Structure 1
Amino acid sequence: MHQTDRLEEFKKSVKNKFYVYNSLFLNLPYQGIENVGMLIPLLFDQCEKGLKSGKNPQQILDLFFKSYANIDTEKERIDFMFSIIQYVERQVVLYDSVEDAAFPKLHEHSTSLSIKDYFQLVNKTKSWEKIAKKLSSFSARIVLTAHPTQFYTPSVLDIIEELKSLILEDKINDIDVVLQQLGLTSLINTKKPTPLDEAKNIIYILRNVYYAAVGDLFSYVKSNIENDEFDNYDIIKLGFWPGGDRDGNPFVTADITKDVADELRTNLMKCYYNDLKILRKKLTFKDLRPDLNALRDRLYVSMFDPEKVVSYDDIVGPLIKSREILIDKYNSLYLKQLDDLIDKVKIFKTHFATLDIRQDHSKHIQVIETVLKVNGYVNESLDELAEDELTNLLLNENLKLDSKDYKDEIVKDTIANISQLKEIQNKNGEQGCNRYIISNSEDIYSVLFVYALFRWCGWKKDSITFDIVPLFETMNGMDTSEHTMQSLFDLPDYRSHIEQRGSRQTMMLGFSDGTKDGGYLKANWSILKTKEVLSKVCSKNGVDAIFFDGRGGPPARGGGKTHRFYAAQTKAIANNEIQLTIQGQTITSTYGTKEQFMHNSEQLLTAGLSNNLFGKENIISKESRKLLEELSD
């Protein structure tokens, strides 16, 4: 019944509305393309009939041009087809806007488990104590990545948001004007975007969508959970790869990483400033003015000058002081609004999103080999050292690296970047940048090379405030991951580092590269088995396993019904936290509006918590495992 209702709502709120507004769009009054909109349905009809009758594309187009368009020259035909593409691209934007506007209504007919549904089930099962305990520590980390398929520019996103608002109110004349604006707005960048440009495009979404969405979701959970002291501000965490991920992108440099970290922080200060500006219109009381005015002025300066840093304590301190005064002297008036801002500050602190560093293991081999050659430990290759010698050197030898001493660009930039990470943490807080991910990890040296580089770039053993995250993405990497992690845990130095990081080990498992290596089924089956094995290894060593999945893009890159993927995990897989990447166009198509972001974030939370509620174990029988092994081979 739900599915029938949902289809009916889709027809009414998406399909029919799109047809109405598309009819406006097809008649845009632009010189030189007056008939293009009207010819698109005819071209579609010709293509459909032609393909069914066995015609090839050239024959279909020749017949179309002869029958309907009266276009003879090659140039005119190319220009016409280019106009068709321009029209269709904008029709997609219109469709996205209509679908975004309809999302709340479609969601009413969804069969998926929302936080609200989850809390209702908790009430029925009388399991609040168990669920409250899990909620106090569980979290979902959504990591935004840069990818060529993320093609909507901020100006187009603004148009989508405007269209969405107008469609909700069916303001047809205003919609007509915005569609004309869309017709004249370029959907592509005039030049190839730099890594900083890519980062700014996604920070735009952070600031305009996720800042409010994460705050509202936290507020909803906090107000509904039967625990007055609920303070899990990490329940939804944001990660960020643009500007930190240099795997395969030589244009991401140490300077770019620094600039992106500054952009994240300064944009967050703008969010705080705007919230405080609205709040001050309500908190007009004499005893609150000095602290709030001083905070406003400091935030304003820090919005525009990256060197003017306002610390977390300097932001939250005046707000908490104002809260106490509000309760004592002003009858707690507007306390809820002040608490909402305090909660946002405790969620985002001064980082907004955690900037991850990622590099391929092969680049670290190049860096380590060069460093050891320059310092006289090898003549040409790391192969000259026995494994014990190399391990001892990486763990105990004290070198001092300076990027200026090296000519190779990869070596220079790697050293410069690791050396500056302390400064990023000083400005944005530790959560601003505290994970270093190594692609194509297949042995212990993928981790130890990074550990050594941190030591040699000025970090003391007992103060490396970074999680070193191996990314197992090839079949071989997954097959050897158990031995790799156990060997690392057996090293006292690395074990000490893990204890300093809260006895938690994050391990990333890649889908798309595993697919290239072994196919869809083998990649998925290998990931599940690897998670089970690594969960067991970590548990045996007293370490909490945290899995980070590189699978949140289109289906070809592991996307799809992500919440079902997590809800289907077996009990043998550690369930301490959900972490996944959101790639490319998925950022705007699945997490692009406040409503979409909250819905899909809720899905991640309820998927991770569902086993705790229902008490059911997901078990794959021996027979099923045997069949999956045969199919994947």
Structure 2
Amino acid sequence: MKLSKKQAVFENEVLTRFELFNSLFMTLPFYQVKHTGTLLPFFTTHCERGVANKLDPETILESFFNEYKQYIGESDRIDLLFRIIQYIERQVVLFDAVEDSAFKKTGRSDEAGMLDSVFKLTENNKALRKKLIDKLQNFSLRLVLTAHPTQFYPGPVLSIITDLTEALKQNDIHNAHLLLQQLGKTPFMNKRKPTPVDEAISLAWFLENVFYPVASAIQSKIDDEFDISAEDINPVVELGFWPGGDRDGNPNVTVESTRQVAMLLRTVLFRCYYRDFRVLKRRLTFRGVEKYMDKLYDLLYENSFNPPQTPRNEKSHILQNLREIKRVLVEYHDGLFVELVDDMARKVKTFGCFFATLDLRQDSSILRQTHRYLREKYPDLAGISADFEQRDEAGKQAALQFQELDLRHDAAASALVADTLDVIHLIKEIQLSGGERAAQRFIISNCQQASDILELMELFLWSDWKRDSLHMDFVPLFETVDDLERAADVMKSLYTHKQYAAHLKRRGNRQTIMLGFSDSTKDGGYLMANWSIYKAKIELTAIARQYDVDLVFFDGRGGPPARGGGKTQRFYAAMGKEVVNDHIQLTIQGQTISSQYGSLDTAHYNIEQLLYAGLNSHIGQKDGDTLSVEKKELIDYMANVSHEKFLELRHDPLFLKYLERFSPLKFLSQINISSRPVKRNADRELRLEDLRAISFVTSWSQLKQNIPGFYGVGMALQQADKDGRWNEVVELYETSGMFKTMIDNCMMSMSKSNFDLTSYIQKDKEFGAFWQKMCDEFERTKTYVLKLSQSTTLMENYPVERESIAMREKIVLPLLIIQHYAIRQLQEEPDNEVYAKLVTRTIYGVVNAGRNLA
């Protein structure tokens, strides 16, 4: 088959170069991995044949060792397996670096629009250009970095990847060779679980080295295009941060860790400013600027290297000195180097004294406990009747008094109650040191009713906050299918509540609502989750417009399609007129941070794509993106068929048992990658509702079955075909960007599946039929998505990504064989620590290679 131009470039720039550098890497003389590099290609080929012949992992490994008689002893065999894991972990890093180094050459930027294409679209159309400028006055993209447990590379490895990518870009063979040696000797595992502060330090690397220069460069590009001065900019790219603030289900996040992370963000930012200032100082050697430069030096140096105990927001002081410096340059020095001053001013306007907004998040049940604690401790001051808990929702809303008080907890308060009240007080300190945007949002997980929001608002007023200076946004998080269905009613109750409506008015009538993709997928399956969220957005938009509320959707997206990932920008480009899309806000989680925003090139590309999606949906919206009544009915019909199919599987008694038996689910808690527990309510036996969606999706991806990313879609499409509605489905796919993206992302998820790997399970007496049921649905879905997309292979329209996935799957196949082998051995020897360690070690490489598997 003739390769497309993009495929040919990818093969030359990525696949061929990877094989070249991989051969160099595999011949490095590491004592610990002696001979492993020579054996690995034979082992990989052996695994591929074994899987193709549907052999179980024991047979595959035993037959391999029979060919290599030197590995006759059990200890020798185990030692080789560990060394193979070490090699493959580093092969994944090498492939990442090679692929990232060739990013601009592989033509991916042609797949979707960038900012330049938006600018070009409007350059000869004054009306359209004005529309775009107006849009930019009230448009923003907020990327929120989270610390969910899927960020596998430790800091030193991230640095090696960065340096190796740069060496490969320059074809610097000598430096690449040295870095490969460093890679071979650098540990890939943390010796202890990170604390929330450790997680913040790790992610701060991306803020400092990637987002700081890229966000500024993009803002500069927009300002230059529309001739906007540094004084008048409206920051388009904003950053958010969860490590240290997200305490939902994570008892390791405390008020002290929140305090430390807020200070960390501020200090790292000032060091970025200080580095920029030193460049400025080397150029501004003229008379007239000394006084202002000296003031800036003192301010930036102190806050960078000797931060005060009680820091203050210095943004206005920094900008004032920069304005004076610019004035001197313009009046007396012909504006020489004024662009450097403008660049620094642009960064200060974008990042202030906080760098990224530190979000606070807690589960609604904990907030209710805290509210109850204060009511019971101060019954007279609180002024709420004793029967509050027995009242219905309307009664609870009517009972709240919203008094301004200063109530404190005592030693009898539980740890979670004390933490909640302490952090509410701390937020005021953080805002003083970094400005309001340093910490202005409190997210309520598992939000089920309006009183969940109102009780939290009252907690702030009971904690010495005043109504007129309550600079906080209260953000409900709707996650399950049921919560999404109730969301519009909940928000209507809030918009019509006198106290909350007044608070919202003081906040500029802007309301942020967070929607969770992960738990909705676990709850309702892929198609129903996506449709429930889209439908909720339509309903929530209608309610907001009715009450003249400026609505912002904050999407809790993970890496894989099963958690809202995949081709995310295409979702935002396809929002119809019924969905507000003035602001794009989404979480960036786990290894998606390093894969999509780990280098300047990839970060610039992905941010511009999201900006393009939001801007283009405003000025170039397609008619098909606003769904007609008939199309909504069709998607709803298919979503319900899919939901029923998914629930049938989920309610099967073998569902969770299968996942525990064959996947590395129970081992996810043993890998030192996160301060966050794998499941809620860790003190009781595992239940599906307690299992975090990340762990749920990761376990299926390790099995290479990816159930949450496709299951039920095939049945829905088949039923539509049987009912004579296939032509409607085809028209929907061709006209609705939202539905097309759902199907395309489903194909991406399926491309990372391999049922041949687990085909040996079909012979299992207990689980054979269960495995077959999932395999049948995979084949059914594959048949129908190929028919719908008029393709012969999955992801046929995305050849570069398809080739990348195929290579990554090839690299990690031996890891999967080792993992499944060790899991099966543990069924016979549950306490064998060696096999348990084999399982945990393989998890890292599999997720890292997938780039968006968790």
TM-score under structure 1 normalisation? 0.96
User: Please, which moves more after superposition, 419-428 or 131-140?
Assistant: 131-140
Aligned to 1:455: 461
Match for residue 445 of structure 1 among 440, 446, 451: 451
Deviation at 1:605, TM superposition (A): 1.1
Deviation at 1:397, TM superposition (A): 4.1
Aligned to 1:560: 566
Aligned to 1:316: 319
Contact 1:28 1:180 in 2 (8 A): yes
User: Please, which moves more after superposition, 392-401 or 481-490?
Assistant: 392-401
Aligned to 2:329: 326
Cα distance change of structure 1 residues 528 and 329 upon mapping to structure 2, 3 Å threshold = same
Deviation at 1:314, TM superposition (A): 1.7
Deviation at 1:384, TM superposition (A): 3.4
Contact 1:546 1:577 in 2 (8 A): yes
Match for residue 350 of structure 1 among 349, 353, 372: 353
Aligned to 2:827: none
Alignment-mate amino acid for residue 634 of structure 2: L
User: Is residue 133 of structure 1 aligned with residue 140 of structure 2?
Assistant: no
Match for residue 544 of structure 1 among 542, 550, 556: 550
Tell me the SS of whatever aligns to 1:106. coil
Alignment-mate amino acid for residue 277 of structure 1: R
Aligned to 1:605: 611
Deviation at 1:48, TM superposition (A): 1.1
Question: C-alpha separation between the residues in 2 aligned to 1:57 and 1:108?
Answer: 37
Aligned to 2:263: 262
**Which consecutive unaligned segments of at least 5 residues does structure 2 have?**
641-854
Alignment-mate amino acid for residue 89 of structure 2: E
Tell me the SS of whatever aligns to 1:506. strand
Aligned to 2:847: none
1:542-586 alpha-carbon deviations (Å, 9 max, x no partner): 111111111142223110111101111111011220110100000
Match for residue 579 of structure 2 among 557, 565, 573: 573
Deviation at 1:616, TM superposition (A): 3.2
Question: C-alpha separation between the residues in 2 aligned to 1:346 and 1:232?
Answer: 8
Aligned to 1:57: 57
Deviation at 1:622, TM superposition (A): 2.7
Cα distance change of structure 1 residues 346 and 397 upon mapping to structure 2, 3 Å threshold = closer
Residues 24-103 of structure 1 mapped to structure 2, 5 A cutoff:
24-68=24-68, 70-103=70-103
Alignment-mate amino acid for residue 56 of structure 1: D
Aligned to 2:534: 528
Deviation at 1:137, TM superposition (A): 1.7
Match for residue 485 of structure 1 among 480, 486, 491: 491
Deviation at 1:222, TM superposition (A): 0.9
Contact 1:369 1:381 in 2 (8 A): no
User: Is residue 623 of structure 1 aligned with residue 624 of structure 2?
Assistant: no
Question: C-alpha separation between the residues in 2 aligned to 1:418 and 1:583?
Answer: 26
Alignment-mate amino acid for residue 283 of structure 1: L
Deviation at 1:8, TM superposition (A): 1.6
Deviation at 1:106, TM superposition (A): 2.2
Alignment-mate amino acid for residue 9 of structure 1: V
User: Is residue 584 of structure 1 aligned with residue 585 of structure 2?
Assistant: no
1:134-189 alpha-carbon deviations (Å, 9 max, x no partner): 11221111111002211222211111111111111212122111101000001121
Cα distance change of structure 1 residues 163 and 56 upon mapping to structure 2, 3 Å threshold = same
Contact 1:369 1:382 in 2 (8 A): no
Contact 2:266 2:434 in 1 (8 A): yes
Alignment-mate amino acid for residue 266 of structure 1: T
Deviation at 1:381, TM superposition (A): 7.8
User: Please, which moves more after superposition, 298-307 or 189-198?
Assistant: 298-307
Cα distance change of structure 1 residues 304 and 404 upon mapping to structure 2, 3 Å threshold = farther
1:28-48 alpha-carbon deviations (Å, 9 max, x no partner): 211142210111110111111
Contact 2:478 2:514 in 1 (8 A): yes
Question: C-alpha separation between the residues in 2 aligned to 1:387 and 1:374?
Answer: 23
Question: C-alpha separation between the residues in 1 aligned to 2:280 and 2:189?
Answer: 38
Aligned to 1:294: 295
Question: C-alpha separation between the residues in 2 aligned to 1:205 and 1:250?
Answer: 25
Deviation at 1:383, TM superposition (A): 2.5
Question: C-alpha separation between the residues in 2 aligned to 1:345 and 1:335?
Answer: 15
Aligned to 1:417: 423
Match for residue 506 of structure 1 among 512, 515, 521: 512
How many residues are treated as equivalent by the alignment?
A: 632
Cα distance change of structure 1 residues 108 and 123 upon mapping to structure 2, 3 Å threshold = farther
User: Please, which moves more after superposition, 219-228 or 204-213?
Assistant: 219-228
Question: C-alpha separation between the residues in 1 aligned to 2:595 and 2:69?
Answer: 35
Alignment-mate amino acid for residue 364 of structure 2: H
User: Is residue 122 of structure 1 aligned with residue 122 of structure 2?
Assistant: yes
Cα distance change of structure 1 residues 315 and 102 upon mapping to structure 2, 3 Å threshold = same
Cα distance change of structure 1 residues 109 and 222 upon mapping to structure 2, 3 Å threshold = closer
Contact 1:406 1:412 in 2 (8 A): no
Question: C-alpha separation between the residues in 2 aligned to 1:414 and 1:382?
Answer: 21
Aligned to 2:254: 253
Alignment-mate amino acid for residue 306 of structure 2: D
Contact 1:552 1:580 in 2 (8 A): no
Alignment-mate amino acid for residue 441 of structure 2: R
Question: C-alpha separation between the residues in 1 aligned to 2:51 and 2:243?
Answer: 42
Alignment-mate amino acid for residue 482 of structure 2: N
Deviation at 1:452, TM superposition (A): 0.8
1:279-304 alpha-carbon deviations (Å, 9 max, x no partner): 10000112112221221122112113
Match for residue 364 of structure 1 among 318, 343, 367: 367
Alignment-mate amino acid for residue 338 of structure 1: V
Tell me the SS of whatever aligns to 1:350. coil
Cα distance change of structure 1 residues 50 and 459 upon mapping to structure 2, 3 Å threshold = same
Aligned to 1:223: 224
Contact 1:144 1:581 in 2 (8 A): yes
Aligned to 1:337: 340
User: Please, which moves more after superposition, 518-527 or 145-154?
Assistant: 145-154
Question: C-alpha separation between the residues in 2 aligned to 1:355 and 1:26?
Answer: 43
Aligned to 2:189: 188
Tell me the SS of whatever aligns to 2:401. helix
Give the RMSD, CA atoms, in angstroms: 1.9
Aligned to 2:20: 20
Deviation at 1:407, TM superposition (A): 2.6
Question: C-alpha separation between the residues in 2 aligned to 1:583 and 1:389?
Answer: 39
Question: C-alpha separation between the residues in 1 aligned to 2:99 and 2:388?
Answer: 56
Tell me the SS of whatever aligns to 2:488. helix
TM-score under structure 2 normalisation? 0.72
Alignment-mate amino acid for residue 353 of structure 1: A
Alignment-mate amino acid for residue 487 of structure 1: S
Deviation at 1:273, TM superposition (A): 0.2
Contact 2:248 2:363 in 1 (8 A): yes
Deviation at 1:227, TM superposition (A): 5.3
Cα distance change of structure 1 residues 174 and 583 upon mapping to structure 2, 3 Å threshold = same
Residues 149-298 of structure 1 mapped to structure 2, 5 A cutoff:
149-225=150-226, 231-298=232-299
**Which consecutive unaligned segments of at least 5 residues does structure 1 have?**
none
Deviation at 1:409, TM superposition (A): 0.4
Question: C-alpha separation between the residues in 2 aligned to 1:227 and 1:257?
Answer: 36
Contact 2:396 2:451 in 1 (8 A): no
Contact 1:441 1:471 in 2 (8 A): yes
1:418-473 alpha-carbon deviations (Å, 9 max, x no partner): 01110000001100000000011111012011101100111112221011000011
Alignment-mate amino acid for residue 358 of structure 1: R
Cα distance change of structure 1 residues 396 and 336 upon mapping to structure 2, 3 Å threshold = closer
Question: C-alpha separation between the residues in 1 aligned to 2:228 and 2:172?
Answer: 44
Deviation at 1:406, TM superposition (A): 3.9
Contact 2:230 2:342 in 1 (8 A): no
Deviation at 1:109, TM superposition (A): 5.6
1:391-420 alpha-carbon deviations (Å, 9 max, x no partner): 344333454321335431011110000011
Residues 377-456 of structure 1 mapped to structure 2, 5 A cutoff:
382-385=388-391, 387=393, 390-404=396-410, 406-456=412-462
Deviation at 1:55, TM superposition (A): 2.2
Question: C-alpha separation between the residues in 2 aligned to 1:399 and 1:333?
Answer: 55
